[in-house]
Amino acid sequence: MITHPQAAATSTPDPDEERRRVQTARLLAYRDDGPLVHALAGKLGKGLPPVPATLAALLVIAVVAAAGLLKPGPMLLLPPLIMLVLVLPTAPRDHLSRFDWLTPPLLRGAEFLTMIVVALQAGAPKWLLFVLVYVVGYHTYDTVYRTRQSIWPPAWVFQAGLGWELRLLIIGVAAAFDVLTPVLAVLTAYLFVLFAVESVTSWVRLDKASAQAGADAEQDLEASPEDALEQATGEADKG
């Protein structure tokens, strides 16, 4: 589960260990794993190297789509299943290898490619597919921007957002049963409300807190030395 990385218990944590801990937390947040990944990650041992496995999933899905193997019906479940088989086992890894920073963009690219090829083959409206890709892309951008400001999204957002794995499974199953358009509409509306409302309310709370802190600091600067001394003396007397 993705949360703000907690500080180490020691008074003087090792700088390299602290850097690696934060780097891991960021990359795991950027993956946008959902409930299914978190439920199975602990049962997969060390897992697969994330970059080769995710790149392989991306290439296999592209080849399957280019070869014309995707036909309406159960075959549309194939790309989501490829993602699950190859990418889900990468979750237990620490993501600290030299090129593991490539995992989130490769994973997001594979997710978007899967959405696009499945939805197009199922005949879903292109505008609806565009909105879904935009919503998930905005969620990714918001997560990256927040973590770089040391403002971590709450863990429940990643769970409620279903993660890449459940989003793709829902799309694949709906396409296989020829009900993708209504399911896609509900999924898109749900994710739009979830990500937009949570993001806006979080930034509004942050702005209010920053404004209050700035007002307090400005008030302290404007206070005369006599007022400051009187206030400090009064607080000391109360103590």
Q: Which two tokens stand for residue 234?
A: 């009064």
Q: What is the mean pLDDT of the chain?
A: 83
Question: Is residue 82 in some structural domain?
Answer: yes
Is the pLDDT confidence value at 214 over 60? no
Distance from C-alpha of 54 to C-alpha of 201, rounded to nearest angstrom? 33
Question: Is residue 1 in some structural domain?
Answer: no
Question: Is residue 2 in some structural domain?
Answer: no
Distance from C-alpha of 128 to C-alpha of 116, rounded to nearest angstrom? 11
Is the pLDDT confidence value at 222 over 70? no
pLDDT at 98: 85
Q: Are 180 and 174 in contact (CB under 8 A)?
A: yes
pLDDT at 206: 65
pLDDT digits (tens, 9 = 90+) for 91-143: 998 888 889 999 999 999 999 999 999 999 999 999 999 999 999 999 999 99
Question: Is residue 8 in some structural domain?
Answer: no
pLDDT digits (tens, 9 = 90+) for 63-101: 999 999 999 999 999 999 999 999 999 999 888 888 999
Task: Please name the residues in contact with 4: beta carbons below 8 A apart, sequence gap of 6 or more.
Answer: 25, 152
Task: Read off the pLDDT band of 210 (50, 70, 90).
Answer: low
Question: Could you count the other beta carbons within 10 Å of the beta carbon of residue 208?
Answer: 10
Question: Is residue 5 in some structural domain?
Answer: no
Question: Is residue 9 in some structural domain?
Answer: no
Domain that holds residue 200: 16-238
How many separate domains does the chain show? 1
pLDDT at 5: 56
Query: What CATH number did the domain enclosing 206 receive?
Result: 1.20.120
